[in-house]
């Protein structure tokens, strides 16, 4: 069977990929685990209110369920 020839990405595809990468970089990150996410999911870390942490890190570190 012949291998399909891959085409070069079109201009719009390149722009969309670049936009997605830019949006991801602009998202704030959890200051405990470093994952990037929407700011709505970040909360002050117990014991260090100047640090923003995700719910999963807060649960793991404090034992809250």
Q: Is there a domain that residue 34 lies in? A: yes
Read off the pTM: 0.57
Tokens found for residue 38: 């929407």
Give 24-44 pLDDT, tens digit per residue.
677 889 999 999 888 899 999
Q: Is there a domain that residue 43 lies in? A: yes
Q: What is the total count of domains within the chain?
A: 1
Give 6-18 pLDDT, tens digit per residue.
777 788 888 878 7
Beta bridge mates, 52: 44
pLDDT band at residue 53 using 50, 70 and 90 as cut-offs: very high
In the predicted structure, residue 4 carries a pLDDT above the cut 80: no
Query: For residue 44, what are the domain limits?
Result: 29-65
DSSP string, 7-62: PPPPHHHHHHHHHHHHHHHHS-B-TTT--B--GGGEEEETTEEEEEEEHHHHHHHH
pLDDT of residue 62: 81
62 CA to centre of own chain: 23
Average pLDDT, the chain: 82
Q: Is there a domain that residue 36 lies in? A: yes
Q: Is there a domain that residue 15 lies in? A: no
């Amino acid at each position: 069977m012949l291998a399909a020839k891959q085409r070069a990405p079109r201009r719009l595809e390149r722009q969309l990929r670049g936009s997605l990468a830019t949006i991801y970089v602009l998202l704030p990150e959890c200051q405990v685990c470093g994952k990037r996410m929407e700011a709505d999911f970040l909360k002050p870390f117990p014991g260090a209110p100047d640090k923003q942490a995700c719910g999963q890190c807060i649960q793991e570190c404090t034992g809250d369920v």
